[in-house]
Amino acid sequence: MDRNSYLMGIPAAIFIAAGIIVGGYFIGDGISKIRVGPRSVQVKGLAEREVNADVAVWPISFEVVANDLKQLNSSLNDKLNSIKAFLHNAGFPEDNITASPPFITDLHTLYRGSANLPPERYKVEATITVRSENVKLVKETMGKTSGLIEKGVALSGERHRETAEFIFTSLNAIKPSMIEEATKNARLSALKFAEDSESELGAIRSAAQGQISIRNRDRNTPEIKIVRVVTTIEYFLK
């Protein structure tokens, strides 16, 4: 290579080297920004409250057997009237009491061909349901069903046994205050995290209300409920 060609190549080499250095700086700076990104912390806040059920649904099931349909119908009406009288005497108004359609089974047809047919041919199953906002009265009356036995009404056996259902229907009345409480608890957790990490808590980046659950406090007091609200909040950290 002659001297003139060599001298002309020097500026080009300098520009190429400078380009590599500058390009490397911007690439490196970009990677640095991606790695750092926005710092944040995600926390959960919990609020729990004990409440009383405000509606009770109590199904009272029973069976009647007889050898002819006329006798079966007469016995069914006697038992229905006895149960309704028992409930009225306990203090339940008529609009709290509903009788479902009876279900009749021909036992001799059901067990046709069997060597030991049931002594009574027909069986009817029926249910009277009490739905009341007087939960306390339902609980008290449930403990007095032995009075029905004295009137010849035997409640259904284990196969048909049903228990009362206690419902809390006033969730919307307490929901806003519980969400507020859960949000405050979430912020306290975030502040503690920021303090431990030598950071400053910033604005909310995202927030979501978790599932609201209602469960019995325990198996012996199903009329007392535990309402649980969880919120998930993400805060920026400075």
pLDDT band, residue 209 (cuts 50/70/90): confident
pLDDT band, residue 32 (cuts 50/70/90): very low
Mean pLDDT of 135-147: 92
Q: Which residues contact 60 (CB under 8 A, 6 or more apart)?
A: 83, 127, 128, 129, 130, 145, 155
Which CATH class for the 40-52+170-237 domain?
alpha beta
Distance of CA 89 to the CA centre of its chain: 35
The model carries a pTM of 0.73
Q: What is the mean pLDDT of the chain?
A: 84
Tokens of 26: 């911007």
Give the tens place of pLDDT for each residue, 99-108: 999 999 998 8
On the question of pLDDT at 25 being above 80, the answer is no
Give the tens place of pLDDT for each residue, 65-111: 999 999 999 999 999 999 999 999 999 999 999 999 999 999 888 78
Q: Which CATH superfamily is domain 55-167 in?
A: Protein of unknown function (DUF541), domain 2 (3.30.70.2970)
How much is the pLDDT for 15?
47
Q: Who wins on pLDDT, 8 or 119? A: 119
Give domain limits for the chain.
40-52+170-237, 55-167
Q: Which residues contact 66 (CB under 8 A, 6 or more apart)?
A: 72, 75, 120, 121, 122
* Separation between Cα atoms, residue 13 and residue 5, nearest integer Å: 13
Distance of CA 151 to the CA centre of its chain: 40
Mean pLDDT of 19-25: 45
How much is the pLDDT for 188?
95
How much is the pLDDT for 201?
93
